């Protein structure tokens, strides 16, 4: 497995790969890799001949008080993880390679990024779209592999791809869950045993809403109220938002439409922020 740290070397290697004619899959990550990332790499392996994993803690995705300095950085473990998981190349650029001195160009999506996480994290998706555009230009993949835990991020990046005419397909990978039902994630690993027990209420609420829709309930106010009530019974879990939205546009739905609607949840478990979702 090859390891690359500079933009120029990544561009050179991407040109070589394109010349060889095989398909390239890109798995973008911010490191601290876990079982969810293993599933992404496996999906990339099925979709392409070469799997490139980017490991970059993107400063643009963090607000002033969102813990950029405390975000876990485990580059050596991440490289070993990628090798074991079957990746072909790992791109681990330092921040100054991606955003050199004087950098001043950004990519902003103005619709799908506004609701949900965009309300409490107004600069977050500008960081997502900017780094996504840069990685697509550097790696030039045929497919971009993304996990459905961050489904709003998928929607925003897909809109950017369509609007800016990138020639790349998104491969969506189902949420990888741990034994207790929590979605695999970097933040999940920050939870204590007692916090994890409290956090499982999110999965319980998602399951209850899905059951209600399967039994014929379509009223989104009723569904949101039930989910909020279930979560509210756990004092250490505070709701940031509970919403039922169109899975493509992230717009609020007036009624749950099977096959189209998503239930989106974001909560604080004490000081740990978690997001999750389910298709209804």
pLDDT digits (tens, 9 = 90+) for 135-179: 999 999 999 999 999 999 999 999 999 999 999 999 999 999 999
Identify whether residues 11 and 129 lie together within a single domain: yes
Q: Which of 34, 37, 124, 234 is catalytic?
A: 37
| Calpha distance 57→37 (Å, rounded) | 15
Q: Are residues 129 and 6 in the same domain?
A: yes
Report the pLDDT value the prediction gives residue 67, as an integer from 0 to 100.
87
Residue 53 binned pLDDT confidence (cut-offs 50, 70, 90): very high
| Per-residue pLDDT reduced to its tens digit, 88-140 | 999 999 999 999 999 999 999 999 999 999 999 999 999 999 999 999 999 99
State mean pLDDT over 181-186.
95
Has 37 been annotated as catalytic?
A: yes
By residue range, what is the domain housing residue 265? 187-274
Q: What is the arithmetic mean of pLDDT over 30-37?
A: 97
Q: Give the pLDDT confidence score for residue 65 in this predicted structure.
A: 85
pLDDT at 190: 85
Do both 194 and 116 map to the same domain? no
Please state the pTM of the whole predicted model.
0.97
Residue 180 domain-assigned (yes or no):
no
Domain count within the chain: 2
């Amino acid at each position: 497995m090859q390891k690359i740290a500079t933009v120029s070397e990544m561009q050179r290697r991407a040109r070589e790969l394109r010349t060889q004619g095989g398909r390239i899959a890109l798995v973008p990550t911010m490191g601290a890799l876990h079982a969810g990332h293993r599933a992404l790499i496996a999906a990339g392996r099925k979709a392409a001949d070469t799997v490139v994993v980017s490991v970059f803690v993107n400063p643009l995705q963090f607000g002033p008080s969102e813990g950029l300095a405390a975000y876990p950085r485990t580059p050596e473990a991440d490289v070993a993880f990628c090798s074991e998981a079957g990746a072909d190349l790992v791109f681990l650029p330092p921040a100054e390679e991606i955003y050199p001195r004087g950098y001043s160009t950004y990519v902003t999506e103005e619709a799908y990024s506004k609701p949900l996480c965009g309300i409490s994290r107004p600069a977050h998706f500008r960081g997502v779209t900017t780094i996504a555009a840069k990685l697509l230009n550097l790696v030039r993949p045929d497919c971009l592999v993304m996990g459905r835990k961050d489904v709003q991020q998928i929607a925003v990046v897909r809109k950017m791809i369509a609007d800016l005419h990138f020639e790349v397909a998104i491969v969506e990978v189902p949420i990888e869950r741990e034994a207790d039902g929590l979605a695999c994630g970097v933040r999940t690993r920050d939870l204590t045993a007692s916090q994890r027990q409290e956090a499982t209420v999110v999965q319980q609420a998602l399951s209850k809403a899905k059951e209600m829709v399967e039994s014929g309930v379509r009223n989104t106010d009723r569904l949101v109220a039930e989910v909020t009530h279930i979560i509210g019974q756990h004092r250490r879990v505070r709701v940031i938002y509970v919403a039922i939205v169109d899975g493509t546009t992230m717009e609020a739905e007036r009624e749950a439409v099977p096959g189209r609607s998503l239930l989106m949840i974001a909560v604080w478990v004490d000081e740990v922020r978690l997001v999750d979702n389910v298709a209804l």
